[in-house]
Amino acid sequence: MEPHKRPVPPGYDAAAALYKQKKFPQAAKAFEAIIKGGAANVDTHLSLAYCYLLQRLYSKAVKEFEWVEKYGKNSMTLQKQAGRTAISLRTMISGVCPAPCLKANDPRWFVKDGRRWITIRYSSKRAWNISDYHVGEYVANENGDAVLKGKCPVCGGTGQVARLKDGDPPPRL
């Protein structure tokens, strides 16, 4: 049976109770046991992802959030949220700023009239070409329009952040 259609597995309630008591290492072991048993549903993987995140085990959390993104088919919102969290963690682990700022090494840059440009789209109907003069600036989506908000508050306009390692203080996601 597909993971998004599975019923609540045996042992889930006990694992969830440990989670609610903030006993994250014990809850993680309980969720891992359910997964190893082959009966895990999407909620089991999502709960395990948050156990890892709250224990600052970011590399493990990424894998679980990616799993939820792939198999959480009952909820598009859940899939998108899990996917965004996985991407943010993955980019921070690699030292790249997770904010939507213009990064000099973005592969979407193209050259026109001797200047580098990037196309930003927030809808299928409109696109904005922004020059490399704005590298390091934060780009916001305001009612479908790309709006430059000045220097990125996350990376200070560098496009890079300190690499996130397991055990580091929690990032702002």
Question: 69-108, pLDDT tens digit by residue?
Answer: 999 888 889 999 999 999 999 999 999 998 889 999 899 9
Residue 48: predicted pLDDT: 97
Confidence at residue 8, expressed as pLDDT on a 0 to 100 scale: 81
On average, the pLDDT of the chain sits at 91
Give the dihedral of Cα atoms 129, 131, 134, 140; nearest 10 deg.
Answer: 0
| pLDDT above 90 (res 122) | no
- What homologous superfamily is domain 3-93 in, according to CATH? Tetratricopeptide repeat domain (1.25.40.10)
- Higher pLDDT residue, 4 or 81? 81
Amino acid at 86: A
Structure tokens at 165: 């390692």
28: its two tokens: 């993680």
The fraction of the chain above a pLDDT of 70, given in percent, is 97
> Which residues belong to CATH 1.25.40.10 in the chain?
3-93
- pLDDT class of 53 with cuts at 50, 70, 90: very high
Q: What pLDDT score was predicted for residue 131? A: 93
The predicted pLDDT at position 166 comes to 95
Question: 10 Å Cβ neighbour count for 53?
Answer: 21
- Judged on CB neighbours under 10 Å (0-12, 13-18, 19+), 11 is middle
Rg of the chain (C-alpha set): 20
The pLDDT of residue 136: 94
Cβ contacts of 164 within 8 Å, gap of 6 or more = 58, 89, 92, 93, 171
CB 94 within 8 A of CB 159: no
- Average pLDDT for residues 42-57, to the nearest whole number? 96
Residue that is written with structure tokens 């990037």 in the block: 118
Structure confidence at residue 7 (pLDDT): 75
- The pTM score is 0.78
